[in-house]
């Protein structure tokens, strides 16, 4: 086992060769803690780490870092999501120091949804740096112990260096265009220093398999842990909406047909998720799954249970 | 060229003081070419103000070569002196030059200045340059990622690129990075997309404060 | 020439109004700044030469009834008085002034306003001094089908040199030879004639770029970047028929092919017309000819089902009668239904005139004409050349005011299939009419620019190219050296669209400048 | 502001439609003035606005039937100009003035007459209210 880069439990489990399961938690839009507590209850013990989204789809919510502290206090390991939309390089680095200080160890570097999709479409976007540059910046902070500007991370010339050490994640989308460049984009992220990626939710297994084959052919799975994305299907409307209106998601017609011809869409959705987990476990290069049950965190435990992935392992 | 569009007349009327003498001044350069503030538009706006519900003591119109150059602004000193308000149909640069020159007059903008862009055919203009002060077009097949990508990304397309279009407007907006990718591919230069581009030096853009260009070689 | 305008009005009371109060009008016109003199003529149509001799050489504003214009009176008068275009303006006074208003007291006011208004236009106009431009004496023909070949031969007979361009293979008449639609013997004859003609050069599989209007005709770029100049262009591309919309049905192309190959067509044959849209008369004519051939060759039972039954072409009635005599069954239908149950095919409908319903059981063949239009490659070519398409199909805009073979490039004529669905005879006639139009353009005297030609004020032009983009005739070009827009005077049709769109107000129409027009409108 | 209504018509189909209208005996009140241009495509916003600001009650742009413009689409170009001027007038709050686009074929004398009189009536109603 190679030397660990951080104190992250997620990193340890992956290093141990466990098939990891991560979940996702969208912070609420108010400081009503009961909602948050319900979600925490649903995910606690069902997954190894939980992504906390950062103003997802550009809608204002409790901050990712603030929520991360809250769930850590309740025994969950967070993956802090960090987008480039709302902060410049100063704010991002400052927030990372703060997050690390309070115990966050996993970071997911994202570009972030365009503000026009959210509830403040008039906002000025930042995009001072992009996700690739963010990955590289966090890696530099950890491995070269410097800020983006090149200064060392210490309080004074004679002070000791104390750098934040994050387990660096990113997103990967095998389904967006130009399709044939998507593996190269992952390669670029690997070169920038990413440790793990979570993919866009998979519905088109052929397309995903094709992407994975190319990933394996380039040995990228040895440099980057790949967690395949799953969003359980809860309704036909959701499936159709994603096909027609969400960019970068591929949904084959055969899947829509399958769900059109089923009596209980929710049950079928769970069955499909289980089939997928089964296929991912047998697929070379896939190190785990990332279950994005958006506003349906309750369903996660059942899926993980039925997939035979409970109880979750402990880090050695 | 600088592309601009006219403000709705009711908004122009809101900012004009009543019963004053108004001078509408067009600009014969960029805003003429983008059909927003040339001689023709001066006449249209002048006629509209004369007919407007708000009363003015007088509305006259004229157009000068360039409102971003004092040489030409100075030529209309007399006409400006005979009016109370100057309604400039130039870009923001022209409006400001005009008010610098005539500090005792109210100088008001009749246009919204939009972007630096190209004419893509009759009635269609497209933003093509951000004026970031740090051109990378040599690396991106002559297509500006900062302008043509909705997020101004520097390291390739995000996950919102579908069928060559940007998720921000999948009907009408090309994905800038897809354009770059396709062009680099046809030039057999895809390798230029692989190196990680470092964060941009935004100090060369407006973030470094209002930019000035001083060239010793052409100074008097 | 004196500056003052002479107004001449005809006062023959052909219209219902009373005589013009000439003295009164003259008195009121005396205040006019533009009209210096008023002459009221009795019966202007009868030899005005003598009466107007005194004012010869002055600008004349002439008003009378529409008859004067129709009879060519004005051009005759202008000629006799030695007036060039721009020195005389005519107006249809009788219908547009005297008849337009119901209040007789208002007539005088309106007449004065009208004279004043037109007087201003005339005062500021200039006599045309343009020299006619001689076009280059060579022609480019795109397409080597029947009409292209026919036109090439006719033009070569006029000692005009012709470049014949074909994009497909073989280099001459590929479509005709492939389909065998037009009599192959004739095609062979035409192709061999073209091959031996010293005036026709054939360019096989040529790649062409956009056509550009220039003073002496057009420039066309070819594949290798070569730029050639022509006096005129004929666009005679390939046509194709869409397949019939019913499975198992034939379209006319398929039918002709079988007829041409002399393969038997027997049994119960149904021509089903007006399925999607009204069938044009020439198609009905085609069908009747085909029906006649089928009847002559076999004992077929022929039905022709129509919804519209328009009889418009001369000779169609005759054919129709003949066909009836042959025993072809004509039925006019409504509420048509096609039913196919396990191979049992039924056509049922009602005759709206008699109210009787009819049923055709198990026809051996249904023939449904498909919509006919330019082939995909021909449409592509039209787009490349910069020709405007009508309904995405044909290059000749449907307009009452345009000549039948004009494209939106003045001097680029369209021919044959580019003008729609035509039978063989129609194509031949079309080729001939194109050649006529072209000869008229290339007369030795050359062509004179139209009166209201666009002119660009170089000082005001900002070279934004708006005019170049909006001109429907591609008649506005760039003067690269002077960096201003420059009209191609032989292509400009004087519509004034460029002047209206120019953001710098740099374009004026000759004899119709914007100041004059506004002043004239104010005079009303 | 006078009560005159200026009809700017093209020299092709619209001219013939006007002639047909008078031939058929339909008459216009004297407040209507007509002016001929080669094509309605040569009408622009300046021409419409200056006529209105110089006192005309309304301007009617009278062109050929839509697909029948001699100059391909001059009439459609005019329609877009008319639409813009309508918007400008309403934004400026220029009450009581109007601009309209009318298409007419040479066989539509009666319809044209009704349409034109309609504008005059609408204008009067507005004036009274």
Q: DSSP labels for C113-167?
A: HHHHHHHHHHHT-----PPPBPPPSEEEEE--SHHHHHHHHHHHHTT-EEEEEE-
Q: CA gyration radius for chain C? A: 30
Q: Of B141-145, C202-206, C407-411, where does the model show the most confidence?
A: B141-145
Residues 6+ apart with CB under 8 A from C42: C10, C11, C12
Q: Which of B28, B35, B39 sits opposite C466 (nearest CB)?
A: B35
Nearest to C496 by CA among C477, C485, C510: C510
ipTM of the complex as predicted: 0.78
Instruction: List the 9-68 stretch of B: residues with Cβ below 8 A of D.
Output: 9-10, 13, 40, 43-44, 46-54
Mean pLDDT over residues C394-414, rounded?
80
Total-model pTM: 0.81
pLDDT at residue B47 greater than cutoff 50:
yes
Residues of chain C with CATH 3.50.50.60: 138-240+374-441, 243-370
Closest by CA to C20, choosing from C53, C59, C74, C65, is C65
> How much of chain A exceeds pLDDT 70, in percent?
99
CA A184 to chain centre: 19
Task: Delimit the domains of chain B by residue range.
Answer: 2-114, 130-204
For residue B184, give the nearest of A184, A187, A176 by alpha carbon.
Answer: A184
Does the beta-carbon distance from B48 to D95 stay under 8 Å? no
Residue C15 has pLDDT above 60, yes or no: no
Q: What is the CATH number assigned to the segment(s) C138-240+374-441?
A: 3.50.50.60
CATH number of the C243-370 domain: 3.50.50.60
Whole-angstrom Cα distance, residue A119 to residue A113? 12
Is the pLDDT at C390 greater than 80, yes or no? Answer: no
- Residue B40: list chain D partners with CB under 8 A: 44-46
Q: Output the six-digit token pair for C251.
A: 């379209």
Q: Determine the distance from the C-alpha atom of residue C228 to the mean position of all C-alpha atoms in its chain, rounded to a whole number.
A: 26
Q: Would you say residue A315 lies in a domain?
A: no
The pLDDT of residue C107 is above 50:
yes
Most confident of A113-117, C236-240, C428-432: A113-117
pLDDT(C293) > 90:
no
Task: Give domain status of residue A117, yes or no.
Answer: yes
pLDDT digits (tens, 9 = 90+) for C475-508: 999 999 999 999 999 999 999 999 999 999 999 9
What phi and psi, each to the nearest 5 degrees, are found at residue C56? -55, 140
Q: What residue ranges do the domains of chain D occupy? A: 5-128
* Domain C5-123 CATH class label: alpha beta
The chains in contact with chain A, meaning 3 or more Cβ pairs closer than 8 Å, are B
Q: Is the pLDDT of residue C108 over 60?
A: yes
Residue A1 lies in a domain: no
User: What's the pLDDT band for C92 if we cut at 50, 70, 90?
Assistant: confident
pLDDT at C425: 60
pLDDT digits (tens, 9 = 90+) for B65-78: 999 999 999 999 99
In a domain, A314, yes or no: no
C-alpha closest to that of D103 among D74, D63, D73: D63
Examine the pLDDT at C188 and tell me if it is beyond 90.
no
Contact A104, A78 (CB under 8 A): yes
> Can you tell me the mean pLDDT for D42-55?
94
Can you read off the two tokens belonging to residue B213? 């260009």
Between the two ends of chain A, the Cα-to-Cα distance in Å is: 12
SS3 at position A59: coil
Q: Is D32 in contact with C494 (Cβ distance < 8 A)?
A: no
User: Residues with Cβ < 8 Å from D66, sequence gap 6 or more?
Assistant: D75, D76, D103
Q: Where in chain C is the domain with CATH 3.40.50?
A: 5-123
Q: How many CA atoms lie within 13 A of C182 on its CB side?
A: 23
Query: What does pLDDT average to over chain B?
Result: 94
Distance, CA of A102 to CA of A72 (rounded, Å): 9
Chain B contacts of A177, Cβ < 8 Å? Answer: 157, 161-164, 175, 178
Residue matched to tokens 């001097």: C411
The answer to whether residue B94 neighbours chain C at the CB level (below 8 Å) is no
Q: Would A255 be classed as within a structural domain?
A: yes
pLDDT per position as a tens digit, A141-185: 999 999 999 999 999 999 999 999 999 999 999 999 999 999 999
> Which range scores top for mean pLDDT: B149-153, C26-30, C86-90, C253-257?
B149-153
What is the helix (H) or strand (E) element at residue C214, kind and residue range? strand C208-214
Given a contact cutoff of 8 angstroms between Cβ atoms, the answer to whether A173 and B157 are in contact is no
State whether residue B124 sits within 8 Å of chain C by CB: no
Q: And the tokens for C241? A: 């028929």
Task: Identify which of C193, C222, C226 has the alpha carbon closest to the alpha carbon of residue C210.
Answer: C222
Residues C445-455 have a mean pLDDT of: 88
The rounded distance, in Å, linking the Cα atoms of D65 and C181 is 38
Q: List the strands of the sheet with D32-37, edge to edge.
A: D32-37, D5-10, D58-63, D98-103
Distance CA C339, CA B111 (A): 65
DSSP-based three-state secondary structure for D99: strand
Count structural domains, chain A.
1
User: At the fourth CATH level, which superfamily is domain B2-114?
Assistant: Response regulator (3.40.50.2300)
Q: From the list D45, D53, D88, which residue is nearest B9 (CB)?
A: D88
DSSP H or E stretch at residue C239: strand C239-241
C214, pLDDT greater than 80? yes
Identify whether the C-beta of residue C124 lies closer than 8 Å to the C-beta of residue C516.
Answer: yes
Window 82-101 of D: residues touching B by CB (8 A cutoff) are 88-89, 91-95, 97
Average pLDDT score over chain C: 81
pLDDT value for C1 = 41
Give per-residue burial for B95-117: e unless 16+ CB within 10 Å, then b. bbbbbebbeebbbbbbbebebbb
Phi/psi for B137 (5° steps) reads -60, -25
**Secondary structure percentages of chain D, helix, strand, coil, to 5:** 50, 20, 30
Just give the CATH number of C454-523.
3.30.70.20
In Å, how far are A297, C181, C249, C260, C363 from C254, measured between CA atoms? Answer: 64, 10, 9, 10, 17
The CATH fold assigned to D5-128 is: Rossmann fold (3.40.50)
């Amino acid at each position: 086992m190679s030397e660990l880069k951080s104190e992250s439990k997620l990193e340890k489990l992956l290093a141990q060769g466990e098939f990891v399961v991560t979940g996702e938690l969208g912070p609420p839009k108010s400081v009503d803690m009961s909602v948050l507590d319900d979600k925490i209850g649903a995910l606690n013990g069902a997954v190894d780490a939980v992504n906390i989204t950062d103003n997802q789809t550009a809608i204002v919510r409790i901050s990712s870092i603030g929520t991360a502290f809250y769930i850590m206090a309740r025994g969950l390991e967070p993956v802090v999501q960090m987008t480039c939309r709302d902060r410049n390089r100063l704010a991002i680095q400052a927030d990372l120091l703060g997050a690390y200080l309070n115990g966050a160890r996993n970071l997911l570097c994202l570009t972030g949804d365009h503000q026009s999709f959210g509830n403040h479409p008039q906002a000025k976007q930042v995009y001072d740096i992009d996700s690739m540059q963010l990955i590289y910046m966090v890696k530099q902070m950890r491995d070269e112990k410097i800020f983006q500007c090149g200064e060392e991370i210490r309080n004074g010339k004679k002070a000791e260096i104390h750098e934040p050490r994050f387990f660096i994640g990113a997103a990967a989308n095998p389904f967006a265009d130009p399709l044939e460049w998507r593996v190269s984009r992952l390669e670029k992220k690997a070169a920038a220093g990413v440790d793990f990626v979570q993919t866009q939710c998979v519905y088109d297994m052929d397309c995903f398999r094709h992407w994975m084959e190319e990933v394996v052919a380039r040995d990228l799975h040895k440099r980057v842990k790949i967690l395949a994305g799953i969003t359980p299907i809860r309704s036909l409307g959701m499936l159709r909406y994603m096909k027609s209106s969400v960019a970068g998601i591929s949904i084959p017609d055969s899947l829509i047909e399958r769900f059109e011809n089923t009596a209980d869409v929710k049950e079928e959705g769970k069955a499909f998720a289980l089939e997928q987990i089964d296929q991912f476990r047998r697929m070379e290069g896939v190190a785990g799954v990332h279950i994005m049950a958006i506003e349906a965190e309750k369903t996660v435990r059942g899926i993980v249970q039925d997939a035979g992935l409970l109880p979750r392992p402990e880090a050695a | 060229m600088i592309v601009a569009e006219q403000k709705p007349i009711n908004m122009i009327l809101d900012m004009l003081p009543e019963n004053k003498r108004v001078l509408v001044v067009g600009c014969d350069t960029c805003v003429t070419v983008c059909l927003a503030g040339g001689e023709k538009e001066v006449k249209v706006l002048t006629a509209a103000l004369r007919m407007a519900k708000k009363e003015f003591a007088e509305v006259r119109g004229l157009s000068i070569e360039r409102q971003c150059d004092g040489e030409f602004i100075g030529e209309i000193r007399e006409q400006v002196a005979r009016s109370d308000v100057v309604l400039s149909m130039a870009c923001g640069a022209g409006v400001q030059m005009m008010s610098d020159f005539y500090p005792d007059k109210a100088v008001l903008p009749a246009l919204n200045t939009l972007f630096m862009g190209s004419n893509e055919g009759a009635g269609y203009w497209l933003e093509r340059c951000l004026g970031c002060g740090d051109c990378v077009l040599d690396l991106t097949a002559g297509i500006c990622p900062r302008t043509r990508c909705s997020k101004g990304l520097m390291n390739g397309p995000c996950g919102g690129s579908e069928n060559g279009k940007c998720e921000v407007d999948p009907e009408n907006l090309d994905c800038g990075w897809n354009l770059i990718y396709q062009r680099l591919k046809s030039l057999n230069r895809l390798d230029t997309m692989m190196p990680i581009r470092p964060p941009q030096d935004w100090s060369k853009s407006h973030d470094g404060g209002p930019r000035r260009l001083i060239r010793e070689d052409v100074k008097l | 020439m004196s500056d003052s305008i002479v107004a001449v009005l005809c006062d023959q009371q052909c219209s219902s109004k009373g005589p013009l109060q000439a003295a009164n009008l003259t008195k009121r016109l005396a205040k006019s700044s533009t009209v210096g003199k008023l002459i009221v003529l009795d019966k202007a149509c009868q030899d005005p030469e003598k009466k107007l001799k005194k004012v010869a050489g002055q600008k004349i504003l002439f008003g009378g009834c529409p008859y004067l214009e129709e009879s060519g009176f004005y051009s005759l008068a202008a000629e006799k008085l030695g007036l060039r275009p721009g020195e005389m303006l005519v107006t249809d006074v009788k219908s547009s002034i005297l008849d337009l208003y119901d209040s007789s007291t208002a007539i005088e006011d309106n007449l004065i306003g009208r004279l004043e208004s037109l007087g201003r236009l005339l005062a500021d106009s200039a006599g045309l001094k343009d020299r006619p431009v001689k076009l280059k004496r060579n022609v480019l023909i795109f397409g080597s089908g029947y009409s292209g070949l026919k036109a090439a031969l006719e033009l070569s007979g006029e000692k005009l040199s012709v470049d014949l361009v074909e994009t497909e293979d073989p280099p001459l008449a590929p479509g005709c030879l492939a389909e065998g639609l037009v009599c192959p013997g004739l095609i062979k004859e035409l192709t061999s004639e073209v091959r031996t003609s010293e005036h026709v050069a054939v360019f096989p599989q040529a790649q062409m770029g956009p056509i550009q209007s220039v003073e002496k005709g057009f420039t066309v770029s070819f594949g290798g970047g070569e730029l050639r100049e022509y006096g005129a262009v004929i666009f005679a591309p390939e046509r194709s028929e869409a397949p019939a919309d019913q499975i198992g049905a034939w379209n006319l192309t398929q039918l002709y092919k079988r007829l041409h190959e002399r393969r038997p067509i027997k049994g119960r044959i149904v021509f089903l017309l007006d399925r999607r849209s009204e069938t044009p008369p020439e198609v009905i004519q085609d069908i009747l000819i085909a029906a006649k051939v089928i009847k002559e060759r076999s004992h077929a039972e022929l039905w022709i089902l129509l919804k519209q039954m328009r009889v418009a072409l001369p000779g169609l009635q005759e054919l129709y009668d003949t066909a009836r005599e042959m025993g072809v069954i004509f039925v006019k239908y409504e509420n048509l239904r096609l039913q196919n149950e396990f191979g049992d095919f039924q056509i049922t409908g009602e005759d709206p005139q008699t109210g009787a319903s009819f049923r055709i059981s198990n026809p051996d063949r249904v023939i449904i004409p498909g919509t006919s239009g330019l082939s995909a490659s021909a449409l592509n070519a039209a787009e490349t050349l910069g020709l405007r398409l009508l309904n995405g199909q044909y290059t000749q805009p449907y307009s009452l005011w345009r000549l039948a073979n004009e494209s939106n490039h003045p001097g680029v004529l369209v021919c044959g299939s580019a003008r729609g669905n035509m039978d063989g005879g129609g194509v031949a006639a079309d080729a001939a009419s194109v050649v006529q139009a072209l000869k008229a353009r290339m007369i030795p005297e050359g062509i004179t620019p139209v009166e209201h030609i666009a002119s660009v004020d170089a000082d005001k032009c900002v070279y934004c190219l708006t005019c170049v983009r909006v001109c429907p005739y591609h008649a506005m070009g760039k003067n690269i050296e002077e960096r201003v827009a420059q009209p191609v005077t032989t292509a400009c049709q004087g519509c004034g669209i460029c002047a209206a769109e120019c953001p710098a107000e740099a374009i004026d129409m000759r004899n119709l400048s914007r100041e004059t027009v506004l002043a004239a409108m104010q005079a009303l | 502001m006078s009560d005159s209504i200026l009809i700017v018509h093209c020299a092709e189909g619209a001219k013939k439609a006007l002639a047909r209208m008078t031939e058929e005996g339909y008459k216009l009140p004297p407040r209507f003035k007509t002016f001929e241009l080669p094509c309605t495509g040569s009408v622009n916003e300046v021409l419409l606005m200056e006529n209105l600001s110089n006192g005309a009650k309304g301007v009617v742009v009278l062109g050929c039937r839509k697909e029948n413009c001699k100059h391909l689409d001059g009439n459609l170009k005019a329609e877009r100009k008319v639409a813009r001027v309508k918007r400008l007038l309403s934004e400026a709050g220029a009450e009581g003035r109007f601009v309209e686009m009318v298409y007419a074929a040479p066989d539509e004398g009666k319809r044209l007459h009704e349409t034109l009189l309609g504008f005059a009536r609408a204008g009067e109603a507005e004036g009274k209210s």
